[in-house]
Amino acid sequence: MPYILGCPFSFRRGLLLAGLLWLTAAGAARAQLDSLGGLTGQFGRYARQMPREALFLHLDRPLYLSGETMWFKLYATGGPASRPLALSSVAYVEVLDASQHPVLRGKVALREATGQGSFALPASLASGRYTVRAYTRWMQNFGPEAFFHGTVTVVNTFAASGTVPAPDSAALDAAFFPEGGHLVRGLQSKVAFKVTDRRGRGVAATGTVLDAQGAPVATFSTRRHGMGSFLLTPAAAGPATYTAVVTQTRGPGEERPAVRQPAPTTSRLPAVQDQGYVLSVHQAPDPGQLTLAIQGTAGLSANVLLLAHARQQAAFTRPLELLNGRAELTLDRSKLPDGVSHFTLFNTARQPLCERLYFQVPRQILTLDARTDQPAYAPRTKVSLAVSAGSATAPNSLSVAVYRLDSLNAAPAISIDHYLGLTSELRGTVEDPAYYFTATGPEAVAATDELLLTQGWSRFRWAEVLAPAVAAPAFLPELYGPVVRARLSRAGTTEPRSGLLTYFSVPGRVVRLYNDQSDADGFVRFEPTNFYGPQTVMLQTDPAQDSTSRITLLDPFSEQFAAFTAPAFSLTPHFRADYARRHLQAQVQTVYAGKKYDRYRAMPTDSVPFYGRPSASYRLDEYTRFKVLEEVLREYVPGVQVRIRKDGFHFQVLDDLNKVIFQENPLVLLDGVPVANINRMMAMNPLKIQRLDVVTSRYFQGAAAYDGLVSFRTYKGDLEGFQLDPRVLIQEYEGLQEQREFYAPRYDTPEQQRSRHPDLRELLYWNPTVTTAAGSGASQPLEFFAGDQAGHYLVVVQGLAANGAAGSTHFTFEVKPNL
């Protein structure tokens, strides 16, 4: 059956979520795919309402010293072709330690499906391997396994030279994975396995499978990175429990020889089912074809449904009938999508029975070419870098890093094409993903199959996909900026308070105020604009409705963590000289260029208050300054009348439109913060107030309506010590990351070249905003200067095309002191 590929997309901000999804395929093709009694239709409905979103993070290098800056670029993709997807406007990036505790967190703005950011690594950060993960609010609906995960190494050179590495553990762990998911009596299955040490590293091993009587029924050995497979047919009758005895070896696929020979490890294989199905996928005699074989035990239904899908799009469907408990199907590989395909077997009640994964090397790639104008340079000379892309029909978004190669920086960085094409669909760490894209032959086919069997996972909870109606998502996408959420509860309890008007304000010279009514669960949400850097935020309920509710500001970061373990790390005495050299370089750079590394780009601001242009505005320094605020209002603010009642002061604003006076107090603000107690406002020293705005008409904001508006602004926008109501929640809150500017010295003049300030940079260049023009496929010329350190430097270019094609390339050049 043909594969429906290249469905058109519509990604328009501001539309309903359904309007952000790809359009359905043509009617005839849709009818062809909907041949499973409505199963395919339900799958498509779920995909339309819960679209897939993915992030890739290009990190500038794989190793950092404590105190250095980590730079990164974000690529947001989605849909069957992993095209750039401008669904979310905020990405959450975290650096996790070995216990998955966040040591750094940041919110990064996404614009046109890309973003950029940085982390200043604390000088006290301990040496180790850290996990960098990234996700959006929408991605939290699909669990932490769907987040981007990468690994970086951090070396604290203050402690590196005297550190003794932890002893290598000899204990082994062996896990077994029957194809399709289950071992079934009387049915032959391929069983994949993975053998790891206590640090999670794949190790070479051999083993024997024993039945319940201790008789050997199969033997096996690892192929690559501790993985392998063997065939096993569980007994049709009698005891059917199996164990494996595993012994570590020094096989050809194991690059790290065992420190000491461990004792054999005994592991139990998964339980055997009395009845069930087995789904097998293997290469057909014709290399252009793929064979699927289905086995079922007697007594089960002979009618099953097969659905092949990739990235939420159905690629192939077929109802099948088993004859004598078996069915076989041959597929044309060219009609399967690029990347990882899932073959899922259902019964006629649309219950999932088995699942199998298959990987096809992407045929659509972004071919990148990068080169410098010379193979070698003298210190402090200009390097000209030319970058071009084979896809010249539309602009391509690229990022470029140039860093020094040494014994510490030798680990390869994860590339965008390998991540989007393979590792994003798998669980855990994939060692050497490039192998599965470049290796050919039977050995590579077998190794790829074993990788998919041992580390594959399904993004779908089929009960949710096939439910009568798709449940409302717990997390909505942030379309226009960060969403700040809070919860209202009755004081002293967790009982939610609903229907209460709640204010969110950020005091400052720019007046910003947001409001929302709490829903049935007590939640309120606000969408502040131009919300960058650390801010002091204030939340309060409308005192006319409530005075006792407790407000809790919610943390937007996910508290769910995937079973992703960064490889263990220990400092090596062999590299002690390298640690000392890098430590000296880092200290020298800090002394001579430290402040230049902390330059920030000016972020967008809006000086217009949220209420727009007021009816009247008064700069108090232009008038006679009074020492009592009541005199100020009575003398030269005719739009506001001051009234004194039993409970004290009240304001009444003139309604210019209807030529009447409002009877209720207007909304009163001080530096954007609502002030309900007019008596406190009137007690403020007017000499601290710089400006007064008045809106002399009824003003509507969200669900709230005000009888006019009176806004006081102080000189610094910091409330000038005004005592707010104690019920106001005041809390520090981090907005979007401010953009740090990458600094690199220039040596354009002889005087600059003769400067005695040492230049010992490891990272020569970082540019996350490179684009190649449509038509030529070439970028603008890129230039930077070599430093004083001799050695080989690695240039890494990564990028994503508008059509979803991903690509990366790298090469080296040399800096020689005597050129």
Q: Does residue 791 form part of some domain?
A: no
Q: Are 717 and 638 in a shared domain?
A: yes
Distance CA 415, CA 372 (A): 21
| Among candidate residues 99, 265, 96, the one with its CA nearest the CA of residue 169 | 265
pLDDT at site 169: 52
Nearest Cα to 593, choosing from 721, 354, 757? 757
> How much is the average pLDDT of 302-311?
94
- Please say whether the beta carbons of 694 and 637 come within 8 A: yes
Q: Is 700 a residue whose pLDDT tops 70?
A: yes
191/262 same-domain check:
yes
Whether 75 is covered by a domain: the verdict is no
Report CA-CA distances (Å) from 443 to 201, 307, 448. Answer: 21, 28, 9
Give the pTM. Answer: 0.91
Distance CA 217, CA 615 (A): 89
Instruction: Name the domain boundary from 519, 537, 553.
Output: 553
User: Which of 707, 734, 761 corresponds to the end of one domain?
Assistant: 734
In a domain, residue 223? The reply is yes
pLDDT digits 0-9 by tens, 240-258: 899 999 999 975 544 444 4
Domain count, the chain: 3
For residue 174, pLDDT beyond 80: yes
**382 within some domain:** no
641 and 728 housed in the same domain? yes
Q: What is the CATH number of the domain that holds 668?
A: 2.170.130.10
Which of 719, 734, 749 corresponds to the end of one domain?
734
Does residue 520 sit within a domain? yes
Residue 668 has pLDDT above 80, yes or no: yes
Residue from 220, 216, 166 nearest 195 by CA:
220
For 422-472, the pLDDT digits (tens) are: 999 998 889 899 999 999 999 999 999 999 999 988 878 898 898 989 899
Mean pLDDT of the residues in the chain: 88
In a domain, 567, yes or no: no
Query: Is the confidence at residue 138, as pLDDT, over 50?
Result: yes
129: in domain = no
Beta carbons within 8 Å of 682's beta carbon, 6+ residues apart = 629, 630, 642, 648, 649
| pLDDT of the residue at 595 | 67
The answer on pLDDT for 91 being more than 60 is yes
Is 728 found in the same domain as 648? yes
Whether residues 631 and 712 fall in one domain = yes
b/e per residue, 644-678, with b = 16+ CB within 10 A? eeeeebbbbbbbeeeeeebeebbbbbbbbbbbbbb
Strands 339-347 and 352-360: antiparallel
Task: Look at residue 539 and tell me if it is in a domain.
Answer: yes
Identify the domain containing residue 513 by its residue range: 484-553
pLDDT value at 11 more than 50: no
Same domain, 641 and 543: no
Same domain? 546 vs 628? no
Q: Tell me what pLDDT residue 255 has.
A: 46
Q: Considering Cα of 277, then 283, then 285, then 290, what sign does the dihedral take?
A: positive
629 with 724, same domain: the answer is yes
Listing DSSP states for 33-71 in one string gives H--STTHHHHHHHHHHHS--EEEEEEES-SEEETTSEEE
Residue 197, domain CATH:
2.60.40.1930
CA angle 189, 192, 195 (to 5 degrees): 150
Q: What is the pLDDT of residue 446?
A: 94
- Whether residue 501 has pLDDT greater than 90: yes
The mean per-residue pLDDT over the stretch 705-709 comes to: 96
Torsion of CA 725, 729, 734, 736, to 10 degrees: -80
